[in-house]
Amino acid sequence: MRLFIFTKLRPTLMLFAALLFGSAPQIAAAEDIPQPQEYPRILKVIEQQGITILGEMKVPGGLRAFAAKAGAQPLALYLTPDGEHVVVGTLVDAAGQDMAETQLKEMVEAPITEEGWQKLEQSTWVKDGSPDASRIVYVFTDPNCPYCNQLWTVARPWVEGGKVQLRHVMVGVIRQDSPAKAAAILQAASPEEALAENANNYEGGGIAPADTMDPAIAQKLEGNATLMTELGFSGTPAIVFKKPDGSIDKMAGLPQDAALEMILGSK
């Protein structure tokens, strides 16, 4: 015997589920049946609602299961046999074991690919360090994040020594004035100096928020925030770096001691 149970969803996800159940698309015509490599049509509708589909999972019971994310929150989606509805929740067996937990975790926490690294290169970031530095480290940074500013401070020996270039991918997600402060940094004559001003004066309130925000800057900040969640992060600082063997790794939060040296290298 297998049962459907539902996880406690955030209000936005509850609304999302209600929308799914209340307005499902029509069954696809025979000629429109998706090929094995394509998502069912209803999942394409879900993607338009801001849900990221990560891929299909294998579960018992005759259902098709898909791993997904709403922002940084993992979701298991179960397609009903008629192809018209999606159940958002948890599939368990009679012993209460989650049938998709391991697969969902692996797919959500999948390592960042070279494509992800290229997206970081193309994002809007503030250079901190020598262009000739042998090590590049990306950091999603909010001007109001105390740990982001601590990371800026503790990284000085590596940055000023020319070994590491930090690329601060600016976001504004913590407080109401975070976007305006991030804009003040990006719109400054020298964003690198503005970033330093914010970090050095963090206890005094940091950089003054921008009075006006260029629409292009607002769009870039939104793109950075979207990329942050796409790469699996839900807060700042969020760090992406390459190991000596060239593989890509990531870390959330302020790294300490050995973790800091793993990211930045030996002093």
- What domains sit in the chain, N to C, each tagged with a CATH number? 2-108 (3.10.450.70), 114-264 (3.40.30.10)
pLDDT of residue 35: 36
Residue 17 neighbours by CB distance under 10 Å: 18
For residue 25, pLDDT over 60 is answered with no
Stretch among 3-12, 109-118, 161-170, 258-267 having the lowest mean pLDDT:
3-12
pLDDT of residue 162: 96
pLDDT of residue 214: 93
Residue 38's SS3 state is coil
Looking up tokens 């015509």 gives: 29
The structure tokens listed for 123 are 């994002």
Model pTM?
A: 0.67
Residue 89's SS3 state is coil
Looking up tokens 């590049």 gives: 136
pLDDT of residue 69: 79
For residue 11, pLDDT over 60 is answered with no
Average pLDDT of the chain to the nearest whole number = 84
Stretch among 105-109, 170-174, 239-243, 247-251 having the lowest mean pLDDT:
105-109
Q: pLDDT tens digits for 77-124?
A: 999 888 888 999 898 988 888 989 888 877 776 668 889 999 999 999
Mean pLDDT of the region 149-161 = 96
Those residues whose C-beta lies under 8 Å from the C-beta of residue 169, and which sit 6 or more positions away, are: 120, 123, 124, 125, 138, 139, 140, 141, 224, 227, 228
Mean pLDDT of the region 38-56 = 82
Mean pLDDT of the region 24-47 = 55
Q: pLDDT tens digits for 199-218?
A: 999 999 999 999 999 999 99
Partner residues linked to 79 by β-bridges: 64, 86
| Cα–Cα nearest to 153, from 162, 137, 166 | 166
